[in-house]
Amino acid sequence: MNSPERLDGRALFYIAIALVTWSSAYAAIAYALASFTPGEVALARLTIGSLCFVVLLRARRAALPRRSDWLQLAVLGVFGLTAYHLCLNYAETRIASGTASILISLVPAVTAALSALWIGERITPRSALGLGVALFGVVLVVLTSGKQVRFQPMAALVLISVLASAVFFVGQKPLFARNDMIGVTTFGFLAGTLGAVPFGLGLPHALTLAPWSHIAALIWLGIAPTFVGYLTWNAALKRAPASQVTSFIYFSPPIAVLIGWVWLAEQPGWLTLLGGAITVGGVALANAKRRTPAPAMPVESSAVKEC
């Protein structure tokens, strides 16, 4: 019998690792794009990640998913990984970073809606309110942290990434119940890597011309944000509802501001800090458990006399 899904300490630990590694991806992508095309970055990242998952699959002797799930996983891998990374990489070359940060923060809301429609997860009014409050906090963080925000037609690529990410997270969720999580993730990544091949055919030649520092950025992307990030994220998705897990994506912009504060001495303004606090409060509200009233103690009938 499967244990009930809940956002426990282990799930929160997995989410924290995923968010920290994913927060490093945007800078690494921007750095790698100096020597590689968006398609080449996507192919390199997914290839390295897939190789890591294959090694883990063999080491753990995990089973591949059921054959009946292969087609669904292949579609999820191509849409949720190939399309997501291609659109995000191309968007980073065209739109302002603040615009991307705000739009990508729509992932939790879209995931919550898909979770309710697709797999029947119940979204309470409190959770919906918390997601809205957290999104407001993210917008405040981005607008007050000095990032450029310009909404232009190419921003539609980020919206495709948002939809692809939500479909990928929610679509995998039922498969974890009847398959090994590592097997599901590995198969999806192999499909996503094959889907990226036509867009990165120039990667071998580009590798011979690129400086080592840009190649190192690709290796970091493949190992940290891709392999470690998706592995821990899917481990959290297996333990807790998809809508709850993805609500923590709202923490990405505040984490980026915090990293800049500690690492680069970029002092955030009080409105930025307020936005971060609102984001934290919104996520906490979205994941707050409803208190169930304690069962009433049975009242002893007055007709029963003491012995």
The answer to whether 141 and 257 have CB atoms below 8 angstroms apart is: yes
Read off the pLDDT of residues 97-133 as tens digits, 9 standing for 90 and up: 666 777 777 888 888 888 888 888 888 888 888 888 8
Which of the two residues, 177 and 291, has the higher pLDDT score? 177
Residue 260 scores a pLDDT above 70 = no
Q: Please name the residue that has the structure tokens 């797999």.
A: 119
What was the pLDDT predicted at 40?
97
Q: How confident is the model at residue 148 (pLDDT cuts 50, 70, 90)?
A: low
Confirm whether pTM is higher than 0.85: no
Q: pLDDT value at position 14?
A: 95
Percent of the chain with pLDDT over 70: 86
**The one-letter amino acid at 299:** V
**Greater confidence, 146 or 160?**
160
Of 297, 185, 132, the C-alpha closest to 140 is 132
- Report pLDDT for 94: 77
Residue 208 has pLDDT above 80, yes or no: yes
Q: Which two tokens stand for residue 212?
A: 């080592």
Does residue 307 have a pLDDT over 60?
no
CA gap 191, 188 in Å, rounded: 5
Of residues 128 and 55, the one with the higher pLDDT is 55
- Residue 118 token pair: 């697709």
pLDDT tier, 186 (very low <50, low <70, confident <90, very high otherwise): very high
Q: Judge whether 145 and 297 are in contact, CB under 8 Å.
A: no
pLDDT at 4: 60
Q: Which two tokens stand for residue 145?
A: 């942290």
Residue 185: what pLDDT?
Answer: 97
211-220 long-range Cβ contacts below 8 angstroms, 24+ apart: 211/35, 213/31, 214/31, 214/32, 214/34, 214/35, 214/36, 217/28, 217/29, 217/31, 217/32, 218/32, 218/36, 218/41, 218/44, 218/45, 218/48, 219/48, 220/24, 220/28
